[in-house]
Each structure stands twice: as structure tokens, then as C-alpha cells.
Amino acid sequence: MFTGIIETLGTISNLQREQGNLHITVESAISNELKIDQSVAHNGVCLTVVSVADGKHTVTAIEETLNKTSLGHLKLHEPVNLERCMQMNARLDGHIVQGHVDQTAVCTQFKELDGSWEYTFEYDAALGNVTVEKGSICVNGISLTVVNSQVNSFSVAIIPYTYQHTNLHNVRQGSVVNLEFDIIGKYVARLMQR
């Protein structure tokens, strides 16, 4: 379980395909502190650490994960948002995040405002996911608040700290991002469908 509060940015140092899998090696300030079998969110995707060495760690994304997330779009030297799993004795600063990406979205609009930024993302509403005004959404693993909820799109407003300390500063119109919708909202939506 995660909070959506990004701990640090890592840098993609190696991408290796093996059959339907993608081995992703990341260099980061926390890599040497990680342990094999530990869960770490990479752009919001919960992945298991399979090796740690020389300030880098490696995780493996299987075909199912690559089909449902933006991890297959990663490029060498690209920044990636990292968050270790939540400690049960810690404050929950973001919202409850599982690291199970529901679907991807495309950035359809990026606006630089006076001291902040606004992003609009469009997603496939046919998959049954919904957002609500002032509700929580996880974009690339970042816990954010929805400011404009539509049937198949939403906007988020970004403060300077989040812009500078996550990979949102690389997201522009046309970028593909990972979405994890609010867990409580997903259960309510499922109950309403029944």
C-alpha cells in the first residue's frame, strides 16, 4: 500500500526485454536502501525489486503490466517517480494507493498558470472508472486532487513543489500517464452497477 506522496525521482539506466517481460533498472538515492522482494511504486506501478547493486535497483514488468500501464513507453535517462510502500505507523499524507494501475490516460492540455500548472487528462470511460470533483486520483503514482471532473476526462492543478519534485515537469500534451482511481470510489461505482 502506498500514499501517492513521491519519495524521490529515479533515472532509468537500463531497459532490457526478455520474451514478454521488461527488466527496468533505475538509479536513485534510495536504491541502495532497497531489499530484494520489496515493493516499490514506479510511476504508480507496484513492482518487486529483483536486484540491488551500485546505487541501482532492477524490477521486472510482465506483459500484463506493460499492456495496462505506460511502463512500455519508458526511455533511457527518463525520470521515474518512486515511492516505497507505506509504513503502518506513519501518517497517511496522500490517499490510499494500491500501486495497481487501472488504466492509462493521455494529457490533452497543459497550461502554465501564474505560479502553478494545470493538466487535463483524457481516459477511456468505457472501462467504468470515474472521477469526482475534489476527489483523489493517482497520476504516475502522485496523489492529486481532481479540479474538473468530466465523463472521460479530468484536470488537476499542480503546486510548484510537486512540479519540481516529480516527473510531471516532463508531461506535456500527448504524454501517456498511469492512472489509479480512488479505491473507495471504485467500490461505490461497482456497487451502484449491481
pLDDT digits 0-9 by tens, 43-75:
999 999 999 999 999 999 999 999 999 999 999
What is 103-127 written as a DSSP string?
Answer: EEEEEEEEEE-SSSEEEEEE--GGG
The residues spanned by each domain of the chain are: 8-84, 103-193
Amino acid 193: pLDDT: 78
Under CATH, to which class is 103-193 assigned?
mainly beta
How far, in Å, CA of 11 to CA of 90, rounded?
27
In the structure, what pLDDT confidence band is assigned to residue 31 with cuts at 50, 70 and 90? very high
Confidence check: pLDDT of 109 > 80: yes
Helix (H) or strand (E) holding 162: helix 160-165
Mean pLDDT on 25-34? 98
Looking at the chain, the whole-number percentage of residues with pLDDT higher than 70 is 100
Choose among 9, 15, 97, 102: nearest CA to 61.
15
Amino acid 126: pLDDT: 92
Question: Among 36-40, 84-88, 112-116, 176-180, where is mean pLDDT lowest?
Answer: 84-88
Confidence check: pLDDT of 184 > 90: no
Choose among 16, 15, 75, 24: nearest CA to 45.
24
Amino acid 32: pLDDT: 97
- Domain 8-84 and domain 103-193, same fold? Reply is yes
In the structure, what pLDDT confidence band is assigned to residue 83 with cuts at 50, 70 and 90? very high
Q: For the segment 120-144, what is each residue's pLDDT rounded down to a tens digit?
A: 999 999 998 999 999 999 999 999 9
Amino acid 81: pLDDT: 98
Cell numbers representing residue 117 in the block:
500548472
Confidence check: pLDDT of 186 > 90: no
How far, in Å, CA of 48 to CA of 193, rounded?
33
Cell numbers representing residue 74 in the block:
519508458
Q: 8-84 in CATH: which number?
A: 2.40.30.20
Choose among 181, 169, 148, 182: nearest CA to 6.
169
How far, in Å, CA of 127 to CA of 103, rounded?
8
Q: What is the pTM of this model?
A: 0.91
Confidence check: pLDDT of 88 > 90: no
Do residues 179 and 104 make contact, with C-beta atoms less than 8 angstroms apart? Answer: yes
Mean pLDDT on 145-164? 95
Residues 6+ apart with CB under 8 A from 146: 131, 132, 133, 134, 135, 136, 137, 154, 155, 156
